[in-house]
A and B are shown apart, each in its own frame.
Chain A
Amino acid sequence: MRVRALSVTVCASALCLFESGCGTQVQTVQNPPQVSFRPQAFQRPEKCLPCHQRQYDELHSAVKSGYRNVSPLFNGLESAGNLVNGGLLRPVYKDSTIMLPDGTILNTNMYTSPILTETRQVQAGFCFTCHNADIEVLGDNPNTREVPQLSGLGSCPAATGQQCFQPDLFRPLRDYVLVDANGNQILPSTPGADPPSGAMPSLGAAGITCDFCHDENGPDLNRSFQMDGFGNTSLLLNQTDLKVGPFAFPVAVKNDFHVASNDPDKIAFLRAGAFCNTCHDVRVPNRNLTAEEHNMNPGGQNVSYFRLENLSTEWQIGPYNSTNNPFGQVVRCQDCHMSLFPYAGNSTYQVGDMTVTSPTPGMFATDYAAVPGVATDQNAPLPQRKVVEHYFTGVDVPLMTPIELSARLGSDYPDPYLTGTDSHGVPNGLATRRQDLMNAAVRISLSKTDTAAQLGQTFTVRLEAVSLTGHRFPAGFSQERTAYVQLQVTDNNGFLLYQSGYVVDKPHPNTGEMAPDGNLDDEDLEHVHAVVDPGTNTPTYTAGTGTNGGNNLVFEDGPDDGPDERVFVGAPEGLVLFRNELGHIFLPGQPIGRMDPNTGTPVVAQGVHFEETFQAALANTVDNFRSLQPLHPQTYKYEIQLPTPQQLQAIGVTIQGPLHVHAQVNFEHFPPLFLRFLAGVTGPSGPTGHDLNLMNEQRIDALLKNIRDIASDDFTVSLTP
């Protein structure tokens, strides 16, 4: 009997390996073993330059390398998060003495914690880890630490005599990525000030370097919350001379500068979308009141989180991670972001009832992987082979001038607006590459629109949109990345009868623009009017929104209120916005951040109150389904009311048919109101009490450039009497 019982158990266990829904079994692959090679500290990308010039040059212009670390937006966002929670997002290190409420010491951060069992471990270096994991690892040694651990974290009562978080001393991360000629760290004279004279970029300024990717040692399943190697830098990193490249048995490296891995698993991992998955899901440690998830690792159940960036999951479950797509093969991240895409020809295919022509992914240049005559031992000859581009082009261009970029990243930092092409025919300028990538992202059709309309009646425009991206569109920080439909209906004389997705030149008193400036790129869409509380400096810091801002000071419906009307009401009207949405659920009795004009008291939630939030640190719910699903056409209706003949007579207008419908998709990498929030919270009136020199109205006006008309269509509607 015992034998049979054991047999059943063993059989069930064996079957369990193949059964996706089996119990709590979650791990089928172990973390790879650590191997011993010659220790080699993380190094500057310039060290790789002599043998890999092309790759260096390409990576140098990628925003994830260099720019992101000095970006006013990334730094502003990280600062805003810290200012509302007392610096919890800054890394802590091995020598930390911070005591958690349960009496344990917090001395590991998001990267160095073996298993994330405490929310505070995830918070410690939360932004910094993905953008600069190498530097965070080096930080455990005080001699190689770039970003210090803050004195006092969270909120602490002054009576305890503890050193509390001091916002007036708070520096943006980019203050720490400057060194002098001897390689010693130098800081701007005051928090956020310009780089000191002679300052050069530190190792950390390089951000995602050659080493970061080529030091990979497989996924760290323990760090990923679902033990699947997704998100929050679930990547094991070597600190040795072993470098993983995309192919086995390369020619020996000159002077043994590094050893090239022949491990087929590591090589396959580097070449797979799974490699990108380790960072391109971002799970924020916070309670989600609508869809909470928990760390599945043993002991991690108290760490709850929500999905901010969900790009990798979107790709993993999407059609491009299968053969069920127009190309009949898996299309990896590398096939669009590290290939000749979108410069290697087009393909035409059918998606639903839409015929689509778009650039072909997965086309690679043939070239040397290293510089001939320089890179190899004994000057052994190099073969030409299929090589990848290291531009990693995405949706961003720097929100800094070339002079600012040079001051922080070196005089050789490439101008994002360069002209010309490289030896593979790829544009040199990041701005051009971004534009071309965006042009390949989406297609729209108006072909199902009503063919006739009548004055005084409604008619329906039907806009079909399909995303051609490997993930949803937009993706990444998809709650701010803004793609939308601009639609106009005009008569044959150009008289404007209807508009959606429009912007209006207006003043922005909250950031000092007191009159319209003639610029439309700094204007928000008209579906919602919001101004976010930037907070204010106070003598005594208390964590939370009380004086640190983040809630909406102004929150009103606008005239183009499509997103909420379409999702919640099902009304066929208003803005078609593909942007996802962060939300804050206020529980009954909680203040929502505004004052009652009649009583002068805080307005509190009377019920369970949902409101969009633009401060990610305050989000407790997220809607990641407003973006367009790849290869899944979606139709949006606009029920449009035409004026009556009497109304037209009253304004002295005669309408002439036919009517013309024009629709186009536009993209802005961040909504201006979000940038204005960052300007406020990091500005002189914000919680630090001085200007962190990150964002202001002038920067928004000069550098926020939207990409218009990445896809378009037109339709003609006859006008019947």
Chain B
Amino acid sequence: MKIRYRFPILLVTGLALVLAAVFAQNGTYTPGEFQKSNPNYPEPDPFYFEGKIDWNLLGITQPQNAWEYLQRGIHFQDDLDDIPDAISDYQTSLSMNSLQNQTCQIVTAAMVVNGTVPPQFNPAPCMFTVRLRLGYQLRQTDPNTAIELFQEVLQIDPQRLGVNTLIAETYVIEAQQTTDLPTRQQAYANAVTAYQAELALSPVTPQSTALTGDLANNSKVHWELAQVYEATGQNSLAASEFQLYVQATQWHSDVYPWRIALAKSQIQTLARAK
């Protein structure tokens, strides 16, 4: 006998058997299907996750976009200590998230409507992590590019702490590397400007002093600024910065605690030389 719908009947019967097998309970707990998407791969919405995710959790075989190249670059740098490959990936990432070729954009107040932003941007917002990481790696070998990258970070987030310090430190490197006196003086001057910009982002105010007891903050900036002033022979300013450094470390010490004693010593030395 020929059954007209034998194929679907067989299939439905087979499916029922499969379902019965799947749903059969045998004493071992069977959870609902666990999270369909990789829980370690955040879906950007709309800004990038700018941190570091353990590379082995991402499940990426070959990076496809700026964010994935950044993550692999971080993996090369942090996990494998492979700086050349890290730099290469950072550069590839940057080429896909670039202001110059308009593959990224700076988000401005004009894009914020009623306190929200569009769910998607085209082009995507610019990322800061790749710029910071690549810039840091290029400080010694290509300080100008490093500074440009750091300055792009300031376009993304002008109030981000630490970026002006990175710029200043790179200018100091530039000053130390050059044999041309005017270039050196200009680099030091630029460093001073950047350090001061850093200090301006977290000013010591009557309110902050009342809350913390701190008369100064940013000890690292004051220390480094003092070094620049010493290097440029501006001893009075150097002494002033050493003084602020000592104040800033009063309740916070320093990762290099011997610098506190050294700063006090330098204050006396500079005072004697006055």
Q: Are B255 and A228 in contact (CB under 8 A)?
A: no
Q: Are B256 and A607 in contact (CB under 8 A)?
A: no
Does residue B40 face the partner (Cβ distance < 8 Å to A)?
yes
CA–CA, A274 and B34, complex, Å: 11
Please choose the segment from A184-192, A646-654, A689-697, A705-713 that sits at the chain B interface, where 4 or more of its residues have CB less than 8 A away. A646-654
Does residue A496 face the partner (Cβ distance < 8 Å to B)?
yes
CA–CA, A531 and B211, complex, Å: 7
Count of chain A to chain B residue pairs whose CB atoms are closer than 8 Å in the complex = 283
Given A26-B36, A219-B32, A499-B253: A567 touches B52 (CB 8 Å cut-off):
yes
CA–CA, A45 and B86, complex, Å: 57
Q: Are B40 and A317 in contact (CB under 8 A)?
A: yes
Does residue A293 face the partner (Cβ distance < 8 Å to B)?
yes
Chain A, 55-76, CB within 8 A of any chain B CB: none
Does residue B266 face the partner (Cβ distance < 8 Å to A)?
yes
Q: Are B249 and A221 in contact (CB under 8 A)?
A: no
Does residue A590 face the partner (Cβ distance < 8 Å to B)?
yes
Q: Which residues of B contact A169 (CB under 8 A)?
A: none
CA–CA, A4 and B262, complex, Å: 86
Q: Are B252 and A526 in contact (CB under 8 A)?
A: yes
Chain A, 210-264, CB within 8 A of any chain B CB: 219, 221, 224, 226-230, 264
CA–CA, A500 and B255, complex, Å: 6
Q: Which of A509, A568, A632, A647 contacts B54 (CB under 8 A)? A: A632
Does residue A403 face the partner (Cβ distance < 8 Å to B)?
no
Does residue A181 face the partner (Cβ distance < 8 Å to B)?
no
Q: Are A509 and B213 in contact (CB under 8 A)?
A: yes
0/1 string, B101-141, CB within 8 A of A gives 1: 00000111101100111000000010011001100110000
Q: Which of A310, A557, A635 contacts B220 (CB under 8 A)? A: A557
Q: Are B251 and A504 in contact (CB under 8 A)?
A: yes
Q: Which residues of A contact B166 (CB under 8 A)?
A: 569
Chain B, 1-16, CB within 8 A of any chain A CB: 5, 7-8, 11-12, 14-15
Of B44, B54, B157, B257, the most chain A CB neighbours within 10 A belong to B157
Q: Which residues of A contact B43 (CB under 8 A)?
A: 291-293
Q: Which residues of B contact A296 (CB under 8 A)?
A: 36
* Nearest chain B CB to A601 CB, angstrom units: 13
* Nearest chain A CB to B25 CB, angstrom units: 5
Does residue A193 face the partner (Cβ distance < 8 Å to B)?
no
* Nearest chain A CB to B175 CB, angstrom units: 18
Please choose the segment from A99-107, A154-162, A405-413, A623-631 that sits at the chain B interface, where 4 or more of its residues have CB less than 8 A away. A623-631
Q: Are B251 and A265 in contact (CB under 8 A)?
A: no
Q: Which residues of A contact B160 (CB under 8 A)?
A: 609-610
Q: Are B18 and A588 in contact (CB under 8 A)?
A: no
Q: Are B15 and A585 in contact (CB under 8 A)?
A: no
Does residue A592 face the partner (Cβ distance < 8 Å to B)?
yes
0/1 string, B23-63, CB within 8 A of A gives 1: 10111111111111001101111111111111011000000
Does residue A701 face the partner (Cβ distance < 8 Å to B)?
no
Given A568-B132, A609-B160: A317 touches B39 (CB 8 Å cut-off):
yes
Q: Are B32 and A29 in contact (CB under 8 A)?
A: yes
Q: Are B156 and A608 in contact (CB under 8 A)?
A: yes
Q: Which residues of B contact A610 (CB under 8 A)?
A: 50, 157, 160
* Nearest chain A CB to B37 CB, angstrom units: 9
Does residue B158 face the partner (Cβ distance < 8 Å to A)?
yes
Does residue B203 face the partner (Cβ distance < 8 Å to A)?
yes
CA–CA, A570 and B136, complex, Å: 7
User: Quick one: closest A residue to B165, CB to CB?
Assistant: A557
0/1 string, A571-588, CB within 8 A of B gives 1: 101100000010001011
User: Quick one: closest A residue to B56, CB to CB?
Assistant: A632
Does residue B217 face the partner (Cβ distance < 8 Å to A)?
yes
Given A274-B31, A291-B45, A587-B112: A509 touches B212 (CB 8 Å cut-off):
yes
Does residue B85 face the partner (Cβ distance < 8 Å to A)?
no
Q: Which residues of B contact A496 (CB under 8 A)?
A: 257-258
CA–CA, A565 and B257, complex, Å: 20
Chain B, 194-246, CB within 8 A of any chain A CB: 202-203, 205-208, 210-214, 217-220
Q: Which residues of A contact B74 (CB under 8 A)?
A: 570
User: Quick one: closest B residue to A290, CB to CB?
Assistant: B49
Q: Which residues of B contact A721 (CB under 8 A)?
A: none
Chain B, 65-123, CB within 8 A of any chain A CB: 74, 77-79, 86, 106-109, 111-112, 115-117
User: Quick one: closest A residue to B51, CB to CB?
Assistant: A623
CA–CA, A310 and B39, complex, Å: 10
User: Quick one: closest A residue to B137, CB to CB?
Assistant: A570
Q: Which of A313, A564, A609 contacts B39 (CB under 8 A)? A: A313
CA–CA, A70 and B264, complex, Å: 50
Does residue B185 face the partner (Cβ distance < 8 Å to A)?
no
Does residue A27 face the partner (Cβ distance < 8 Å to B)?
yes
Q: Which of B11, B54, B249, B256 contacts A10 (CB under 8 A)? A: B11
Q: Are B129 and A289 in contact (CB under 8 A)?
A: no
Q: Which of A310, A553, A570 contacts B78 (CB under 8 A)? A: A570
Q: Which residues of A contact B40 (CB under 8 A)?
A: 317, 625
Q: Which of B158, B203, B266 contacts A597 (CB under 8 A)? A: B203
Q: Which residues of B contact A272 (CB under 8 A)?
A: 29
Q: Which residues of A contact B257 (CB under 8 A)?
A: 496, 499
Q: Which of B112, B116, B205 contacts A588 (CB under 8 A)? A: B112
Q: Which of A7, A529, A564, A605 contacts B217 (CB under 8 A)? A: A529
Q: Which of B25, B219, B255 contacts A498 (CB under 8 A)? A: B255
Does residue A454 face the partner (Cβ distance < 8 Å to B)?
no
* Nearest chain A CB to B227 CB, angstrom units: 11
Does residue A78 face the partner (Cβ distance < 8 Å to B)?
no
Q: Which of A224, A226, A265, A650 contacts B25 (CB under 8 A)? A: A265
Please choose the segment from A13-21, A199-207, A353-361, A432-440 that sits at the chain B interface, where 4 or more of its residues have CB less than 8 A away. A13-21
Q: Are B136 and A588 in contact (CB under 8 A)?
A: no
Does residue A288 face the partner (Cβ distance < 8 Å to B)?
yes
Given A228-B31, A588-B109: A264 touches B49 (CB 8 Å cut-off):
no
* Nearest chain A CB to B117 CB, angstrom units: 6
Does residue A497 face the partner (Cβ distance < 8 Å to B)?
yes
A-B residue pairs in contact (CB < 8 Å), sample of 18? A3-B8, A7-B7, A7-B11, A14-B18, A25-B33, A26-B33, A29-B32, A291-B44, A310-B39, A317-B39, A510-B211, A531-B208, A553-B208, A559-B252, A559-B255, A587-B117, A588-B107, A634-B79
Other A-B contacts than A569-B166, A609-B157, 17 sampled, CB-CB below 8 A, are A14-B15, A228-B31, A228-B35, A268-B29, A288-B45, A317-B40, A499-B257, A506-B251, A509-B211, A510-B212, A526-B253, A556-B218, A588-B108, A607-B108, A610-B50, A643-B256, A647-B258
